[in-house]
Amino acid sequence: MLTGTAHLFIPGPTNVPADVQRAMIVPMQDHRAPDFALILQTVLEGLKPVFGTREGRIALFPGSGTAAWEATITNTLCAGDKVLMARHGQFSALWADMAQAMGLQVEIIDVAWGAPCPVRELERRLGADRHGEIKAVFVTHNETSTGVTSDIAGVRHALDSCFHEALLFVDGVSSIGSIPFEMDAWGVDMAIAASQKGLMCPAGLGILAASPRAMAAMDASTLPRSFLNLRAMLAAHQAGSFCFTPPAQLLHGLRASLMRLHAEGLETVFARHHRLATGIRAGVAALGLSTVAEHRIFASDTVTAIRTPQGIDAREVIAIARDRYNTQFGGGLGPLAGKAFRIAHLGDLNEGMCLTALGIAELALKAAGAPVTLGAGITAAQHVFADAAAQPALSIAAE
């Protein structure tokens, strides 16, 4: 029998803080009553700065980020519409599969897993689209399977430099609430999040933010929708409720988690994630291992995918961590299965937890036969954290 605390270092669901857990221990309530409307309004307003929007309309759907992917498509596009997508990891690939299954004409830019969205190639294809056939560009901001963050501001620049009117849809499921996201400044038309990652709640809510341009596109959309009817949900939210019975307890938890984010301050939240990620990456390098992310410039501040040495099965590393040390790491997905494991560092996390993750990763790697020096990763991360503590005014951009 395993004893002590179970350690969760997967990129979702993430750790739920104790005060958020307590906030969800409430009696059942009438979701048509005025007190519920106040809770919903508080949540919707609290989400706006997290998305970086004043103009966007936010909707909550019982479901997951995948449900929000589908709602984005069904509410704004028509069967046969041409869309442009980069495929550079498991989740960008799944979103492309969904778009194809829903009858869209998907033009795919395939990129190596470990690279970000190729902005220059995207710009080239947009520039060649002289008749405006491309109706939307889909981008995965933070590819959770590879630990790579893409440049959404660069994508917006590519669209603008080509004078292209395509809508910009961004999957921010593993970025929003943890790293900077500027919906309005980047001209994002649909931004997607979910409750179980940087928002530190249980899974169960897909979250959409729609720009005025996306709202206008809904008038021309002809794809069928019922449960995921965005206009109907926004109207229900305006009236203080949902189109159907909502997960009320989850709304209480989300309100508490947003209070935590705003009390810490979003800039401080982002700086904390960057600091912790820098420590994890330093630890990985000190162990002589490489990340799936091909360069630190676009390495994610929410999850690090780590390649195991030749001949070391990452699945065995994960199993040892789970079975011996009561610790969960993320597995390698798709072509990375058995070749990489993932340490997530988003949400309710601090330096001590990251040192624990590295220490257990060292033990599991050593037990699986990897030639690592115990303590090397922890020591490297400690130096990063000690240096950061000595320079409290250090900005995110100073690395």
Note down pLDDT in tens along the chain; length 399 residues: 788 899 999 999 999 999 999 999 999 999 999 999 999 999 999 999 999 999 999 999 999 999 999 999 999 999 999 999 999 999 999 999 999 999 999 999 999 999 999 999 999 999 999 999 999 999 999 999 999 999 999 999 999 999 999 999 999 999 999 999 999 999 999 999 999 999 999 999 999 999 999 999 999 999 999 999 999 999 999 999 999 999 999 999 999 999 999 999 999 999 999 999 999 999 999 999 999 999 999 999 999 999 999 999 999 999 999 999 999 999 999 999 999 999 999 999 999 999 999 999 999 999 999 999 999 999 999 999 999 888 755 444 444
Residue type, 145: S
What's the token pair of residue 374? 């115990």
Separation between Cα atoms, residue 88 and residue 230, nearest integer Å: 28
**For tokens 């690939």, what's the residue?**
93
Separation between Cα atoms, residue 309 and residue 287, nearest integer Å: 11
Residue type, 230: L
Instruction: Dump pLDDT digits (tens) for 213-239.
Output: 999 999 999 999 999 999 999 999 999
pLDDT at 214: 98
| Residue-by-residue DSSP string for 158-224 | HHHHTT---EEEEE-TTTTTTS---TTTTT-SEEEEETTSTT-S-S-EEEEEE-HHHHHHTTT--S-
- Quick check: 317 and 323 in contact, CB under 8 A? no
**What is the CATH code for 18-262?**
3.40.640.10
- Quick check: 164 and 148 in contact, CB under 8 A? no
Domain boundaries along the sequence of the chain: 18-262, 265-391
Separation between Cα atoms, residue 333 and residue 342, nearest integer Å: 10
**What is the CATH code for 265-391?**
3.90.1150.10
**For tokens 């190596």, what's the residue?**
112
pLDDT at 2: 82
Q: How many CB atoms lie within 10 A of CB 376?
A: 16
Planar angle of CA 49, 263, 200, nearest 5 degrees: 75
Query: 323-332: buried (b, 16+ CB within 10 Å) or exposed (e) per residue?
Result: eebebebbbb
| Residue-by-residue DSSP string for 256-297 | HHHHHHHHH-HHHHHHHHHHHHHHHHHHHHHTT-EESSS-GG
pLDDT at 3: 87
Instruction: Dump pLDDT digits (tens) for 279-301.
Output: 999 999 999 999 999 999 999 99
Ranges assigned E (strand) in the chain: 7-9, 57-62, 82-87, 105-110, 134-140, 142-143, 148-149, 167-171, 190-194, 205-210, 290-291, 303-307, 327-331, 340-344
pTM of model > 0.85:
yes
Residue type, 184: D
